[in-house]
Amino acid sequence: MAMSGGIDSSVAAMLLLEQGYELVGCTFRTFDSMRESCLKKEKGCCSVDSIMEAKHLAEQLHFEHHIVDFRQTFRDSVIRNFVEEYKAGRTPNPCVICNSHIKWGVLLKTAAEYGCSRIATGHYARIASADGHWYLKRAADTQKDQTYFLWMLTEDNLKRTIFPLGDLTKNEVREIARQHGFEQLSQKRESQEICFIPDNDYRRFLTEEGCSPEEGNYLSADGRIVGQHRGYMFYTIGQRKGLGIALGEPAFVTGINAETNEVTLGRHDDLYTHTVYLRNGRFLRDVTRPVMAQIRYRSMPTEAMVQIEKPMTTNSQSSAFSLHFTEPVWAVTPGQSCVIYQDDLLVGAGLIG
């Protein structure tokens, strides 16, 4: 049972115990600088607090719990990808990489070491089996659905996974915590920040990770130099605030060129498009009929048709493809995931190129 110390994974553990499962709790360290002595004293920074909350909950519910150190693997995969994507002028989503490399990568191996045949998490998602495949299925609580972040999971991953919260709403999860006597847990606020950037200042983080952005040119839509920016890595498609430039009308980032260190500015409507190109695409079923595609976590899925640009081969399970939307979508951002659904089943996905 992957445990963060938060309400979702805690309630998931309660539900599984009631269903008769034997649990081994696992809380992993991914990004912190706490000392081992701090862990032993069970007090200190917020990272220690979360770890100890998970440990104490397991003690209260009477099941085994372990704290495991995944920090180096996390740095080598999630953080490295995060930095390299920004260097390439893209805007990454680290949760997607973390889920595939950490939670369903090294955690699955750790589970096997503890004699566990399956892993469970507090994600809001469901699993369905149909036409010979295992699929991710949207959660019952559409406002909390997290399948967008899980698209890199393989069918083998899904066969070994349990999502106890998939059929519940967030309010129902809070009520279950209260019913079990965990009133304080039921009121716990959720973190909205990237776990390794708690102050939400990714520009500071990139600088500390060795990135040295240099000033470059802002360009207008027709290629004219209209000002200077602080470095292309500090911007993302669709950004309006913090540009440090006045053009007499609202300006939005419409393009980023990492090779020339140029950032193109334009109007709001310049960011609409009917076509999106993706890389590292994966499909689980025929997508010749219309699909519903989601280009960012908080966006509404939009109807589209898929066109395969580079088919999968026996040596590669990925393909390049494009999506042609019925209605235009706004601020398509390279580096973000585009996830494809049919009837609430996640049938394909890829990275926006």
Query: How many whole angstroms separate alpha carbon 97 and alpha carbon 94?
Result: 5
**Cβ atoms within 10 Å of 246's Cβ, excluding its own:** 8
| Cα–Cα nearest to 301, from 343, 335, 267, 333 | 343
**Cβ atoms within 10 Å of 22's Cβ, excluding its own:** 10
Instruction: Pick left, alpha or beta for residue 42 (phi over 0 → left; psi -120 to 50 → alpha; otherwise beta).
Output: left
**CA 261 centroid distance within chain:** 27
Positive/negative CA dihedral, 59, 64, 69, 71: negative
The predicted pLDDT at position 318 comes to 54
pTM of the model: 0.91
Burial of 1 (0-12, 13-18, 19+ CB in 10 A): buried
Long-range residue pairs from 79-84, CB within 8 A, at least 24 positions apart, any chain: 79/31, 79/196, 79/209, 83/206, 83/209, 83/210, 83/211
> What residue ranges define each of the domains in the chain, with the CATH number in brackets?
7-186 (3.40.50.620), 213-266 (2.30.30.280), 272-352 (2.40.30.10)
| Cα–Cα nearest to 188, from 93, 30, 49 | 49
**Cβ atoms within 10 Å of 197's Cβ, excluding its own:** 16
Spell out the per-residue pLDDT of the chain, length 353, in tens: 999 999 999 999 999 999 999 999 999 998 875 555 444 544 433 467 888 999 999 999 999 999 999 999 999 999 999 999 999 999 999 999 999 999 999 999 999 999 999 999 999 999 999 988 999 999 999 999 999 999 999 999 999 999 999 999 999 999 999 999 998 888 877 767 788 998 889 999 999 999 988 999 999 999 999 999 999 999 999 999 999 999 999 999 999 999 999 999 999 999 999 999 998 888 888 888 899 999 999 899 999 999 876 654 444 445 688 999 999 999 999 999 999 999 999 999 999 99
Query: How many whole angstroms separate alpha carbon 63 and alpha carbon 119?
Result: 15
Tell me, letter by letter, the H, E, C secondary structure of the chain.
Answer: CECCCCHHHHHHHHHHHHCCCCCEEEEEECCCCCCHHHHHHCCCCHHHHHHHHHHHHHHHHCCEEEEEECHHHHHHHHHHHHHHHHHCCCCCCHHHHHHHHHHHHHHHHHHHHCCCCCEECCCCCEEEEECCEEEEECCCCCCCCCHHHHCCCCHHHHHCEECCCCCCCHHHHHHHHHHCCCHHHHCCCCCCCCCCCCCCCHHHHHHHCCCCCCCEEEECCCCCEEEEECCHHHCCCCCCCCCCCCCCCCCEEEEEECCCCEEEEECHHHHEEEEEEEEEEEECCCCCCCEEEECCCCCCCEEEEEEEEECCECCECCEEEEEEEEEEEECCCCCCEEEEEECCEEEEEEEEC
Q: Is 98 a catalytic residue?
A: yes
The predicted pLDDT at position 311 comes to 53
**Cβ atoms within 10 Å of 264's Cβ, excluding its own:** 21
Catalytic entry in 26, 95, 98, 116: 98
Q: Is 195 a catalytic residue?
A: yes
Residue 146 tokens read as 């997290």
**Cβ atoms within 10 Å of 9's Cβ, excluding its own:** 22
Query: How many whole angstroms separate alpha carbon 225 and alpha carbon 203?
Result: 24
Query: How many whole angstroms separate alpha carbon 78 and alpha carbon 102?
Result: 8
Residue 174 tokens read as 């809070």
